[in-house]
Amino acid sequence: MSNMNQITNAGLLKLQHAQAASQTKANSGNNVPFAQLLQKEANRPQSVQFSKHAALRVQQRGIEMTDSLLSDLNQAVKKAQEKGAKDVAIIGKNGAFIVNVPNNVVITTMSGAEMKENIFTNIDSAVLI
């Protein structure tokens, strides 16, 4: 029985040592200065976010949010931002998305059928996708 405890304890000790070594290796890459991490995060492209209202409208109106559409929206917002736009209507075959550019947030959306005979107010720009 004593021999079995020694084997078990030795095995546990090796396992703990291996885990500690693994954790040390994993943490060694985290010695990046805070300013560098902050700059990296600030430069990372941010995807548009959807307000609760816009997310509900996407669901209610059956607008299919594909990777391609999301990419198109992100590119349109980037172009609008470069031109100094604040509130933009992004219009495509799937519908229209009203986006607050400084906050990178889709405020509302409507399907293609709903766009007909509607008026967009409180926007300063439009981007066709």
pLDDT tens across 35-70, in order? 777 777 777 667 999 999 999 999 999 999 999 999
Q: Please give the pLDDT value at position 118.
A: 85
Query: Average pLDDT of the chain?
Result: 81
Who wins on pLDDT, 120 or 117? 120
Q: Please give the pLDDT value at position 34.
A: 78
φ, ψ dihedrals at 111, nearest 5°: -75, 170
Q: Is the pLDDT of residue 85 over 50?
A: yes
Inter-residue contact 108 to 96 (CB < 8 Å): no
The whole model's pTM is what? 0.66
32: which DSSP letter?
A: -
Inter-residue contact 80 to 103 (CB < 8 Å): no
**Can you tell me the mean pLDDT for 11-24?**
52
Inter-residue contact 102 to 46 (CB < 8 Å): no
Q: Please give the pLDDT value at position 72.
A: 96
